[in-house]
Structure 1
Amino acid sequence: MMMREMPMRQGFDNDKYIELQAAHIRERIAQFGGKLYLEFGGKLFDDYHASRVLPGFQPDTKFRMLKSLAEDVEIIIAINANDIEKNKERGDLGITYDEDVLRLADIYRTNGLAVAAVVLTQYAGQQAADVFRHRLQMLGIPCKLHYPIEGYPHDIDLIVSENGYGRNEYVETTRPLVVVTAPGPGSGKLATCLSQVYHEHERGIAVGYAKFETFPVWNLPLKHPVNIAYEAATVDLDDSNIIDPFHLEAYGKTTVNYNRDVEAFPVVKALMEKILGTSPYQSPTDMGVNMVGFAITDDKACAEAARMEIVRRYFTAAVQVRRTGTGQEYVDKLELIMKKAGVSKDYSPARSAALLKEEATGTPAGAMILPDNSVVTGKTSDRLGAASSLLMNALKQVTGVDMELEVISNEAIEPISRLKTQQLGSHNPRLHPDETLIALSITSATSEVAARVLAGLPKLRGCDAFFSVIISASDEALLKRLGINVCCEPKFERSTYYHK
């Protein structure tokens, strides 16, 4: 099994990608006579998976690309009425899908992107959907209803008729590019796009459909670590990357696509033939507008970053099993994915460093790989927990401060510890990372060294940390906000039934 040896380096040209992607979308708009419905798969912004496996890709890159087309863009947000009824939540944000629709609408609007409407898909009189629809109306956001279609997606004649797509409420749009996005999977983006294409065609408007996906990267090999990392990221969907057989048959070229898109393509093609008279696409790869592969500048750097991401996904799943008792099947799949990528649990040198530190000190410990590829460790002490200790040691290292120097004054730490134990009912006087940063900030007002250490925080963005035990959710969240990638050994510090 491979172990990581090289420091992370840039492997992706962000500006080139934005330029290529925007140009490709404009070409696709022109292909259809001046108007395109673009189904936007994945995250439009905050795409941290892409930034981790393609070092140099910024989390807001796709959003920046779309903003470069802002004058030509309108956005439709699709949400499944059943998801509203079930109060379905985004796991990464902890908010319901309907709340996320409002969050998305605010972000689009404040960034100069017009929101044409919200579409409630699969609407069948759900009470919660009606409440949300009324809320949208009160906010002045247009809301349209799309209904379930019996026999969908195989009864083509019914779907492409007045009793199928024809029943759906039409969203009036005026700009060349209509982006259809959603708070999560299963929201009905594809059906929304095709329904709109049907209505536009009925009105004599020349229009087309395409799909924006980042992964898998169609022009990278099937077993390239970047594509394997996407399988790791979507392991809960029970899907996989495969060779696109339609593209191979039509053009004699090998490309990579997702099995769900390949399986759905015959139906999508038949629907487009029924609506437009002929399908402009011979394969699911044809439908995509994805220029990511052309902006990779260092394949080895991206491959290494992707292998690290696969291992992260494994530990995330293993910790989830330890916390909840569910999801062992995902851990098993990720073990197979790691074997496919040629990596093991020991791929990151931070793991062995953290476990050795714990063994030497007898207390929970952590380790971090710094930008120069050095590894720094931190242990639990009387004043700081393992996460706080590691954070401080990493900051000292990247700012050139003596590791033995006490940077935070006792005058800053002790009041926080007393507040926790005497007023807030905590049995643990040690500072968490957020409390440590507050103490460091207070000290920096009178200490040039503390100010220097505090200024080193941006240098930790993108670094990998590993802990010998499962750290608290709040500690993990704080480190992630700092841009630090976090993994934990799937074990708790204490042998108790309840872990907060």
Structure 2
Amino acid sequence: MKIGFDNEKYLKMQSEHIRQRIEQFDHKLYLEFGGKLFDDYHASRVLPGFQPDSKLQMLKQLSSQAEIIIVISAKDIEKNKVRGDLGITYDSDVLRLMDSFHDNGLYVGSVVITQFSGQESALMFRNRLEKLNIKVYMHYNIPGYPSNVAQIVSDEGYGKNDYIETTRPLVIITAPGPGSGKMATCLSQLYHEHKRGIHAGYAKFETFPIWNLPLSHPVNLAYEAATADLNDINMIDPYHLEAYGETTVNYNRDVEIFPVLNTIFHKIYGKSPYKSPTDMGVNMAGNCICDDEACREASRQEIIRRYYEAKNAILKGTCSEETIQKLELLMSQVDVTVQDRPVVAAAMSRAEETNGPAASLELPDGKIVTGKTSALLGASAALLLNAIKELAGLDHELQIISPESIEPIQKLKTEYLRSQNPRLHTDEVLIALSASAASRKDAALALQQLPKLRGCQAHTSVMLSNVDIKIFKKLGVQLTCEAVYENGHVYH
């Protein structure tokens, strides 16, 4: 729970650094925005003090200068690619992002459909956007991309793409997820701007890996854990080392593509504005760490959480053994095991005592509370009640929700909604508690403790339903689960 990151310093320093980069060019900068603009919970977990909406707040400081372009690949539209964290398709997320930007006072200029080669679903999506009065531009597949530079930087390459009309000096290129074509969109615009006599610039904003932290720093290793399934690897930037004699960290894809980018820059401008992938970046997060050890420990815990997440994904068939092996290697590198997560032993011990699913949670003061499965409540629902009773100073045996109020909910579930499970999930128990709070002071007091769970660690002895997982996420509880289905079931 220690703060390790100065968020206010970050907002000020990051926005100022981007302004300086805009001025290096003809007051036109295309900024490729990697990672999540909203709800960057990975950053907030490994850099305690970093607010999940920090990047959004930073952009709001630049709102008068900034225009946003959202990029989506026609290939992702065609295969209905889904965001794992939200459970919605990329095309739906484009609309969600537009609403979120508008609601925060940020201007979205247009949407670009990239890698287009005639996909019918992409044309349908374009028509849908145009009916909503949203500008849409099309970018096409380029044969030999990215190695055939002569073809790429020509009228038959970037020249075939639609030129995106923009009106502001800072153009933010973002997307629902990786592989959408953000970099290619930026470079295509540089080509078109140059033909129009404008010396526009390109820069990249990626929070991780943090370029001015050591390669083996747990914060950077936690990024490798987060992208273990993508085979991203942190590495020393050899171009930066050669040019400046300075050791910096980048990741393999940027290092591998840099020679191609450099050639493209030379082809467009006659020279390259950058000597290394690190030069292209604008990230200032490493300068805002105020407690290095707090960030190291938070990152070690994140690697353990990623390991459990991958173990769960193995059972669902969405993860490979190679990913697990990579995460085990990362755990070894930062010298941790699952036993370094105190809630694991507590949950497993409680499960053994009760011979059923159990859960544990570490409170802000370090005390661990547990919950067991009963006839009325699932283990995670019981855990939430026990945790907020402890925080409210209420007796553990006190029933802040009467069994009489739970029984009608169970009847609704089993008799009317045909559910096989009569026990209350976390969302149902919180609704029941809210109803009780209207007439009972102890229930109201317990309910008021929920915000204190944000940032707490929890573990369950079995995999949870999606409903329970989402409730823990909304409460800000950092959850892990054993890779075991409840009651020996094979369907989750």
Could you tell me the TM-score, scaled by structure 2's length?
0.98
In structure 2, distance between residues paired with 1:122 and 1:430: 48
Aligned to 1:492: 485
What's the secondary structure of 2:487's corresponding residue?
coil
Superposition map of 1:201-240 within 5 A: 201-240=194-233
In structure 1, distance between residues paired with 2:66 and 2:136: 18
The match for 1:455 among 412, 437, 448 is: 448
The match for 1:94 among 65, 87, 94 is: 87
Superposition map of 1:66-465 within 5 A: 66-324=59-317, 326-465=319-458
CA shift for structure 1 position 414: 1.6
CA shift for structure 1 position 497: 3.4
What's the secondary structure of 1:74's corresponding residue?
strand
Superposition map of 1:14-53 within 5 A: 14-53=7-46
CA shift for structure 1 position 71: 0.6
Percent identity reads 60
Alpha carbons of 1:325 and 1:201: their partners in 2 closer, same or farther (altered >3 Å)? closer
Q: Which amino acid aligns with 1:388?
A: A
What's the secondary structure of 2:58's corresponding residue?
helix
**In terms of mean alpha carbon deviation, does 374-383 or 283-292 score higher?**
374-383
| Conserved? CA contact 2:81–2:89, under 8 Å | yes
1:297-351 deviation line (CA, Å, top 9, x unaligned): 1111111111111000000110111233852221121111111111111111000
1:71-118 deviation line (CA, Å, top 9, x unaligned): 101111111111111111111111111111111111112222111211
Q: Which amino acid aligns with 1:56?
A: G
In structure 2, distance between residues paired with 1:36 and 1:183: 21
| Conserved? CA contact 2:68–2:173, under 8 Å | yes
**In terms of mean alpha carbon deviation, does 423-432 or 372-381 score higher?**
423-432
Q: Which amino acid aligns with 2:473?
A: K
CA shift for structure 1 position 393: 0.8
CA shift for structure 1 position 275: 0.8
Q: Which amino acid aligns with 1:309?
A: E
In structure 2, distance between residues paired with 1:216 and 1:308: 17
| Conserved? CA contact 2:309–2:480, under 8 Å | yes
In structure 2, distance between residues paired with 1:11 and 1:454: 29
In structure 1, distance between residues paired with 2:162 and 2:233: 35
| Conserved? CA contact 2:114–2:181, under 8 Å | yes
In structure 1, distance between residues paired with 2:345 and 2:361: 11
| Conserved? CA contact 2:225–2:330, under 8 Å | yes
In structure 2, distance between residues paired with 1:273 and 1:102: 36
Q: RMSD of the alignment, in Å? A: 1.2
In structure 2, distance between residues paired with 1:221 and 1:325: 31
CA shift for structure 1 position 358: 1.1
The match for 2:474 among 481, 487, 493 is: 481
| Conserved? CA contact 1:12–1:54, under 8 Å | yes
**In terms of mean alpha carbon deviation, does 274-283 or 152-161 score higher?**
152-161
Q: Which amino acid aligns with 2:57?
A: R
| Conserved? CA contact 1:53–1:302, under 8 Å | yes
| Conserved? CA contact 1:136–1:143, under 8 Å | yes
Could you tell me the TM-score, scaled by structure 1's length?
0.96
**In terms of mean alpha carbon deviation, does 205-214 or 154-163 score higher?**
154-163
| Conserved? CA contact 1:116–1:171, under 8 Å | no
In structure 1, distance between residues paired with 2:272 and 2:8: 33
CA shift for structure 1 position 249: 0.6
What's the secondary structure of 1:425's corresponding residue?
coil
In structure 2, distance between residues paired with 1:239 and 1:251: 25
Aligned to 2:58: 65
What's the secondary structure of 1:336's corresponding residue?
helix
Q: Which amino acid aligns with 2:395?
A: D
In structure 2, distance between residues paired with 1:173 and 1:203: 13
Unmatched runs of 5 consecutive residues or more in structure 2: none
In structure 1, distance between residues paired with 2:136 and 2:350: 57
| Conserved? CA contact 2:310–2:319, under 8 Å | no
Q: Which amino acid aligns with 2:205?
A: F
CA shift for structure 1 position 207: 1.1
**In terms of mean alpha carbon deviation, does 151-160 or 333-342 score higher?**
151-160
1:199-228 deviation line (CA, Å, top 9, x unaligned): 111111121000000000001110111000
In structure 2, distance between residues paired with 1:289 and 1:132: 33
Q: Which amino acid aligns with 2:453?
A: L
1:177-213 deviation line (CA, Å, top 9, x unaligned): 0000111111110010011011111111121000000
| Conserved? CA contact 2:111–2:134, under 8 Å | yes
